[in-house]
Amino acid sequence: MVTATSPYQGYVYAYPHKTAYRPLDPRPPLRRVWEGEPMDSLSLYLHIPFCEMRCGFCNLFTRTGAPDELVAAYLDALERQAGAVREALDAALDSASGGAPGALDSASGAAPGAPGGAPGGPVFAVAAVGGGTPTYLSAAELTRLFDLAERTMGVDLRTVPLSVETSPATATADRLAVLAERGTTRISIGVQSFVDAEARAAVRPQRRAEVEAALGRIREAGFETLNLDLIYGIDGQDARSWRHSLDAALAWKPEEIYLYPLYVRPLTGLGRRARDWDDHRLGLYRRGRDHLLAAGYEQVSMRMFRLPDPARTAAPAHTTGYCCQSDGMVGLGCGARSYTSTLHYSHEYAVGTRQVRAIIDDYVRLAPGDFTAANVGFRLGDDERRRRHLIQSLLQAEGLDPAAYRARFGTEATADFGAEFDRLAARGWLETDAAGWPRLTAEGLAHSDAIGPALFSGAVRELMAGYEAR
């Protein structure tokens, strides 16, 4: 339990990790996978695996330089997948309601015509488009993507929070106009550094002037929330240049800022440039955290900082009851993952250029019937569900809600994970607040990338260790 000396073991944004997924045999039909699952508050995720360039730190499922005909073929396949998945979700709801016409709404807990879903169908509470770089698509292709989400999946994107990722080179006025018109409430842009030399060192060859111009266009488009991603630990970066990037970001008054430590991962452009710089990264993190807190931001997790509601230029236009610990996610596209209470599944995953291209080439040739079953995934037993709830709660600054845990599992988190809590508390990384919520201390949050992986089950760690990177 947290025996490694490095605070940077791995970024835990989901559990189990995708490298714990394995081919499912037999492949379960999606209508059975989703049968009995609550569908009144789902998340819809659309994955666009294309970028204009590949950053040196990137291990996402994406390829560069995709020709127009491949992008068109990908959108064709995405539409076939969406149709098959929506049919499976409807069939699962119909089965849960006994097949009685008009009974679907009571089965899903949604009223006919509820925001985010078609009458009688699944209800989507949030939506996101990621990648890759979604704005690699042209304005017309983005329009087609949003049409697919609305017409096929049945989600009204103007009534739910919608997040889309972009890049300085692709945040063009015509693309941003489509995003704004179709209801995008949050746009996230990977700046990484406002220092040109640092951007080049991270194999992100962009100039600050290009970044500033893109940010100007984004602000002019009027999105409710702007998020900026910054990276610390880049070669040549020091406390002064890090402060320079932080202040340049703050000049735009973004509603959110994410601070990411640089990771050197296998099969990435920086994979052969690893060195021991843990203390340096941790020092930069603390400087960045303290600077943002002093600027009025609140810390949501190790990486995420946001302006509190009273300081925002406008009140959020949308609220959602979606809960990442317990509600399901429907992922569409090559590289997307889907979550139910007992099965997490996706298509194949890779990082290497040749393997990624091969997977995408196979994906665009799939027929509608090929999308009706889950391919690779991980089945969650009771212990894994509890661990997932624990990890996704504890790595947030607010901590774990003991009442929600008790209501979901019928036991106390302190009883199920007492030994883990004791070890974290002994290191000064865990405390219990006045309301009885276990939560990480400031130093615990700083070590989130060690705490998260240490809470993985032995079975998940074994599968991850046996995964062959490709």
Q: pLDDT tens across 403-444, in order?
A: 999 999 999 999 999 999 999 999 999 999 999 999 999 999
- Judged against a pLDDT cut of 60, whether residue 378 lies above it is answered with yes
CA dihedral 300, 301, 303, 305 (to 10 degrees): 10
| Percent of the residues in the chain that have a pLDDT greater than 70, as a whole number | 86
Tokens of 312: 């925002």
Question: Does the structure show a pLDDT above 60 at 225?
Answer: yes
Q: Copy the structure tokens of residue 84.
A: 């098959």
- Name the nearest CA neighbour of 351 among 203, 190, 469, 204: 469
- Residue 54 is predicted with a pLDDT of 58
Q: Is the pLDDT of residue 118 over 60?
A: no
Structural contact between residues 373 and 25, judged by C-beta atoms closer than 8 angstroms = no
What is the model's pLDDT at position 96? 75
Nearest CA-CA partner of 408 in 313, 290, 287, 325: 325
Q: By three-state DSSP, how is residue 51 classified?
A: strand
Least confident range of 30-44, 107-121, 135-149, 337-351? 107-121
Residue 269 has pLDDT above 50, yes or no: no
Weakest mean pLDDT among 251-260, 308-317, 460-469? 308-317
**Residue 315: what pLDDT?**
37
**Pairwise pLDDT comparison (355 vs 3), residue with the higher score:** 355
φ/ψ region of 56 (left if φ > 0, alpha if ψ in -120 to 50, else beta) reads: alpha
Count of all residues that appear for the chain in the document: 470
Cα angle 425, 261, 289 (rounded to 5 degrees) comes to 65
Q: Provide, rounded to the nearest whole percent, the portion of the chain with pLDDT above 90.
A: 74
**Could you give phi then psi for residue 305, rounded to 5 degrees?**
-130, 140
The answer, as to whether pTM is greater than 0.75, is: yes
Which 3 state secondary structure label does DSSP give 280? Answer: helix
Q: Which two tokens stand for residue 39?
A: 């569908």
Q: Are 200 and 53 in contact (CB under 8 A)?
A: no
Most distant CA pair in the chain, distance: 66
The pLDDT score that the predictor gives to residue 383 is 97
- Which residues, in sequence order, are bridge partners of residue 113? none
Residues whose CB is less than 8 angstroms from the CB of residue 178 and which lie 6 or more positions away in sequence, other chains included? 139, 142, 143, 146
Q: Give yes or no for residue 39 having a pLDDT over 80.
A: yes
pLDDT > 50? residue 110: no
Q: What is the pLDDT of residue 108?
A: 34
CA distances to 191, 197, 299, 378 from 232, rounded to whole Å, are: 12, 14, 17, 33
List, in order of start, the domains of the chain with CATH numbers: 18-311 (3.20.20.70), 382-465 (1.10.10.920)
The token pair that represents 242 in the structure block: 């890090």
- pLDDT for 131 equals 87
| pLDDT given at position 358 | 87
Angle at 188 (CA atoms; ends 89, 291), nearest 5 degrees: 130
d(CA 373, CA 399) in angstroms, rounded, equals: 36
Q: With bands split at pLDDT 50, 70 and 90, how would you rate the model's confidence at 113?
A: very low
Residue 400 has pLDDT above 50, yes or no: yes
Q: To the nearest 10°, the Cα dihedral for 190, 194, 200, 202? A: -50
Which DSSP string corresponds to 356-407?
HHHHHHHHTT--GGGGSB--EEEE--HHHHHHHHHHHHHTBTT---HHHHHH
Tell me the average pLDDT of the chain.
88
The mean pLDDT of 16-33, rounded to a whole number, is: 95
In the predicted model, is pLDDT for residue 48 greater than 90?
yes
CA distance 229 to 60: 15
Q: Is the pLDDT of residue 145 over 70?
A: yes
Q: Per-residue confidence at 117, pLDDT binned at 50, 70, 90?
A: low
